[in-house]
Each structure stands twice: as C-alpha cells, then as structure tokens.
A = this chain, B = another copy of it.
Amino acid sequence: MLVECVPNFSEGRDPATIAALQAAAAVPGVRLLDTHSDPDHHRTVLTLAGPPDPVAEAAFRTVRVAAERIDLRRHRGVHPRIGAADVVPFVPLGDTPMAVCVALAERLGARIGRELGLPVYLYGEAARRPERRALPDIRRGEYEGLVEAIGRDPTRTPDFGPAVLGPAGAVAVGARRPLIAFNILLGTEDLAIARAVARAVRASSGGLPAVQALGVPVSRPGVVQVTLNVLDTRQTDLLTVVTAVREAAARHGVAVVESELVGLAPADALLPAAAAALHLPGLRLRQVLELAWALAETPPTAAS
C-alpha cells in the first residue's frame, strides 16, 4: 500500500535550507521523487512516496526542519502562504483508499500541534469543517492576516495546536486526490492580462472544472505567469488547460511562451497531449510499455 506526500515549504532560494528539507525526508522505505524550488514563488515542493507510516514520519521531520529554519515575517513571494511548512497533503496511490490518507493527515496534524506547537488546519478530504476543504479559504489574508485573526476570529481557530501564530506560521495538513501544479508564462509584462486569463480559465469564475488559477508576476523579464492547480485530472486534462489559456491570452493579443510542471503529473493527464500531437485519438495508457506491464493481468494458465 503506497501513498504520496507533497509538502510545500516557504523557501525557494536558500540551497542550504532546501538541502536540509531533502535530508529530513530520508526515512527508510520513502523515495524522494522530485524537488521543485521556485525563487519567484519563494517555495519548494517535495514529492515523497512510500508506505503510509514511513511517509508520515518523513513529512513530520520536514515540517520540523521548516519550522526551525524559515521565518514567515521575512518571507515575500508571489505564492499565497500561511506557514513555513505551508501545506502537507497526503495522496493515495494505486488502490490505496482515501481513508488511509485522511487518517494520516489527522495523526500528523495532531503530532505537529503537540510536538512542534504549531497551529494546524485540516483541509481537503481531511477537513473537519466544510469551509476548510479548499486551501484558498484557509489561506485567506495569508500569514499577515492570520496573525491578527487566529486568536480573535472563532472561524480561524486551528484544528490542532495553539491559536497563536509564531514566526513559522501555521500548517495546512490534508488528504486529496492527485493534483497537478502547472505554471504558464505569457509573453507580456502586463500583470492585468495574466489575472484576466486566470479568471477566464478557473472554475470559481465559471471556467474549467477543477481548475484553480492566479495571475502573478515573475522575475524573468518580459513575461507574467498564470499559476494553476488542476484538482481532478479526470475532469480536466492538461492539454485542455493549456489550450484554454492560449485562447484566453490570444484574445489579449498575447502568446504562451512556455509552461512548467511543478512536481509530478499522473500519466493520464499527459496522454491526451501526446495523442493530439501525434494524431492518435486511440492512444491508451496500456499502450505505454512501462505502464502496460504494471496494469496487465497474468493470463489464466493454459492447459499444458
């Protein structure tokens, strides 16, 4: 039984802290599948996978290192955040039930509150209140807003840990289906266009199902970014997202320069793009050699 954990940390620039987070994840049985650091977002995303208990142990150790080394009072990046270890989602792999990830999130959340003294919000499938299912609601006002609100506004009381925000901020711990984090660069310096394109494609303003999007500035000259999450790749694949962004940008006379996948994507989110480029409407996951072996059944034994 395998789970994935994709903790996001509010440090995308200091190599020593990024290396310390990677080292903290080194628990026997856990594989570090990817490290993605972004200096503009000022954020690092680790992708861990393995059996549930070792993955939860690795996640705890990375949260502890982040809380020791990252000070939110001095953190400025383009990505919304409330904490040093900003969000720690567990994701079921293969046939693992979502309930396993919900239980992991609850146990890790309680342990972070108890042993590290950080406020913890349970989100996604692990949310205990309906208004905490979506991260943007938990992150409302970001770190700076939450410093004021956490002790005064009962709707902001954490699920675990103290209702007080220190330099390491709070942690959103949750369970969710696989998600794709995807950035698309547009060939303009006009941030208003990135924001208009984000509004045009995101679900919350009537765009594509299961898509979250924000327009943000980046340090690279001549471009702005639409930063996206695709929350359910069965509802919206990546080619659909890129096509919608390209069309929305074209209405402003702007082209897509390049895109970027943050961390990993499941194969079924990429396949439609390969199929379209190759005029191969019939392309199936089981035609990818490496996946076919894993998905195939051994046929019944023939009579000899």
Residues in A lying within 8 Å of B, measured CB to CB: 2, 4, 22-34, 47, 49, 61, 93, 178, 184, 238-239, 242, 256-261, 263-267, 270-271, 273-274, 276-283, 286-294, 296-302
In the bound complex, CA of A27 to CA of B301 (Å): 6
Establish whether residues B299 and A30, one from each chain, have CB atoms under 8 Å apart when the complex forms.
yes
Further 6 A-B residue pairs, CB within 8 A, beyond A31-B296, A49-B296, A270-B274? A22-B299, A23-B302, A26-B299, A31-B297, A49-B292, A258-B281
26 residue pairs of the A-B complex, CB under 8 angstroms, read A2-B293, A24-B302, A26-B299, A26-B300, A30-B299, A32-B296, A33-B289, A33-B296, A34-B292, A47-B292, A93-B289, A93-B293, A239-B277, A239-B278, A242-B279, A257-B279, A258-B281, A261-B280, A264-B287, A264-B288, A265-B289, A270-B274, A270-B278, A270-B283, A274-B274, A290-B290
Report which residue of A258, A282, A292 has the largest number of chain B beta carbons within 10 angstroms of its beta carbon.
A292
- A31 proximity list for chain B (CB < 8 A): 293, 296-299
Partner of A288, one of B28, B270, B292: B270
- A22 proximity list for chain B (CB < 8 A): 299
Given contacts A28-B298, A274-B274, A302-B24, contact A184 B279 (CB under 8 A): yes
Query: How many copies make up the complex?
Result: 2
- A26 proximity list for chain B (CB < 8 A): 299-302
In the bound complex, CA of A298 to CA of B43 (Å): 24
Establish whether residues B263 and A299, one from each chain, have CB atoms under 8 Å apart when the complex forms.
no
Q: Smallest distance from the beta carbon of A179 to chain B beta carbons, Å?
A: 11
- Majority secondary structure of chain A interface residues (helix, strand, loop or mixed): mixed
In the bound complex, CA of A282 to CA of B299 (Å): 38
Establish whether residues A302 and B61, one from each chain, have CB atoms under 8 Å apart when the complex forms.
yes
- A263 proximity list for chain B (CB < 8 A): 287
Establish whether residues A267 and B289, one from each chain, have CB atoms under 8 Å apart when the complex forms.
yes
Q: Smallest distance from the beta carbon of A225 to chain B beta carbons, Å?
A: 13
Partner of A289, one of B266, B298, B301: B266
In the bound complex, CA of A264 to CA of B259 (Å): 28
- A273 proximity list for chain B (CB < 8 A): 273-274, 277-278
CB nearest to A27 among chain B residues: B302
- A178 proximity list for chain B (CB < 8 A): 289
In the bound complex, CA of A256 to CA of B33 (Å): 38
Given contacts A184-B279, A278-B259, contact A25 B289 (CB under 8 A): no
- A276 proximity list for chain B (CB < 8 A): 277
Given contacts A274-B274, A289-B264, A289-B267, contact A298 B34 (CB under 8 A): no
CB nearest to A238 among chain B residues: B278
- A23 proximity list for chain B (CB < 8 A): 302
Q: Smallest distance from the beta carbon of A90 to chain B beta carbons, Å?
A: 14
In the bound complex, CA of A298 to CA of B26 (Å): 8
- A271 proximity list for chain B (CB < 8 A): 274
